[in-house]
Amino acid sequence: MITVFRGGWVVTQNRDRDVFRGDVAVEDEKIIYVGPKFEGSADREVDASGDVVMPGMVNTHTHVAMSVMKGSLDDLLFPDFLNASFRIDADRTDGDIDVGAKLGCMEMIRGGTTTFMDLYYSEDVIAKAVREAGIRGVLCWCVLDEDKTTQSGNPLKNCARFCSTHKDIRKIVPGVGLQGVYACNEETCIGAKELSDREKLPMNFHLSETRGEVNEHRRSTGKRPGEWLADLGVLGHRGVAAHSAWLTMNEVRLMGQAGLSVSTCPVSNMKLATGGVAPIPEFCSSGVNVSIGTDGNTTNNSLDMFSEMKTLGLLQKSSRWDARVAKAQELIDFATINGAKAVGMEDRIGSLEPGKYADIIVLDGKDPNMRPLLPENIIGNIAYSASCLNVKHTMCQGDLVMEDRDIKTLDKDSVLAESEEVWRQLCLR
């Protein structure tokens, strides 16, 4: 089947960052044409005239099943937030995890996210929900010390089993989710890295999110978390370090030397008041691949990558008193092609180029917040003016999962109704 997006402002995110008015043609799962006018026949045409056609966003750190807990853990000091979160997590069932995952996927579809990297347990349940939703999940099973988990059995073995059974499923990429140095001893960290390397799996982990985490690790090991993980050989090009706010330049250099990616989560860090600002310019100059994560709906209350992208830019500019850092084009790069690189898929997603998967979103160019819309301001409009509410169409790997703002893959009313009942059961205890 051939689908053509006609007459839009095409923001390719290719090597030259070309932007032009034209067409994007898709055959089955992949893009076959990006240019001024597609002359071939089409089975389906999408009128994108005056709209923005761009790659789907890549959210590189979240906990999608926690979407059903939104608004239950607001305005708490970080230790109190953690204790309450762990208490609710211990009571979760497969049924409410399924509802939470579907709710989160609906929010991401509505907001133009076509790929997300998740860190949680019960990723087999989440994988089923993601497949129904029709977007791509890079699902990293949570690994931590056995004496610190509510999982049944050994978390590393659970992760290995999940990755083995889900490695060939369409739009599901299994991975390793290392909880963080505060819950993972040396053996657990090394075991997770060995599994990632042996099976060529992505690995998502929390790193230096809070000053307390860093100071406690220094007291117990004599080293900062980044240095300790580097010395263990845990840092590597398949790793995506979430948060990464409390770092020294030495740690940044070690991360760059390892080919690591980071997933910066500015809204979550600000809402939890964990302090610290991720050193984005230093990451870029040291060879660290920068991507963006929303974190989960309990720490952010939103999975909106447009909002996250803008907030990241404003935080960097404000904290450094320099409006030149985190420029608009860089922000879009972080949310698309850099995100694709973080999850090991830069050769398949992240830009609109023939041969890549058709992960495409269309922003409504007629919405007032997007106008005036000209080649000269389109990048700035996407980075600073656009909202998740501007997304009209969302396609993932050739599947049009949202058309004219209508999600086509899930029973929306059922998921929404179930979500409120689950919230009452989990959060009113």
SS (H, E, C) 63-121: CHHHHHHCCCCCCCCHHHHHHHHHHHHHCCCHHHHHHHHHHHHHHHHHCCEEEEEEEEC
Q: How far, in Å, CA of 381 to CA of 341, rounded? A: 24
Confidence check: pLDDT of 89 > 90: no
Taking CA atoms, 266 is separated from 111, 273, 373, in Å, by: 18, 10, 28
What per-residue string of b and e applies to 199-230 under the rule 16 or more CB within 10 Å gives b?
Answer: eebbbbbbbbbbeebbeebeeeeebbbbbbbb
- 196, 77: one domain: yes
pTM of the model: 0.97
Q: How far, in Å, CA of 230 to CA of 254, rounded? A: 7
Taking CA atoms, 243 is separated from 62, 238, 266, 282, 322, in Å, by: 11, 16, 8, 15, 22
pLDDT tens track for 282-323: 999 999 999 999 999 999 999 999 999 999 999 999 999 999
pLDDT tens track for 364-399: 999 999 999 999 999 999 999 999 999 999 999 999
Q: Report pLDDT for 292.
A: 98
Strand spans (E) along 208-349: 239-243, 261-264, 289-292
Q: Report pLDDT for 400.
A: 98
Residue 426 lies in a domain: no
- 264, 216: one domain: yes
Are 44 and 5 within 8 A, CB to CB?
no
Please compute the mean of the pLDDT values over residues 93-116 and round it to a whole number.
Answer: 97
Helix (H/G/I), strand (E/B), else coil: 340: helix
User: To the nearest whole number, what is the mean pLDDT of the chain?
Assistant: 96
- 182, 322: one domain: yes
Domain that holds residue 37: 2-56+350-407
pLDDT tens track for 326-352: 999 999 999 999 999 999 999 999 999
Positive/negative CA dihedral, 181, 183, 185, 187: negative
- 47, 103: one domain: no
Structural domains of the chain, count: 2
- 251, 391: one domain: no
Please compute the mean of the pLDDT values over residues 113-140 and round it to a whole number.
Answer: 98
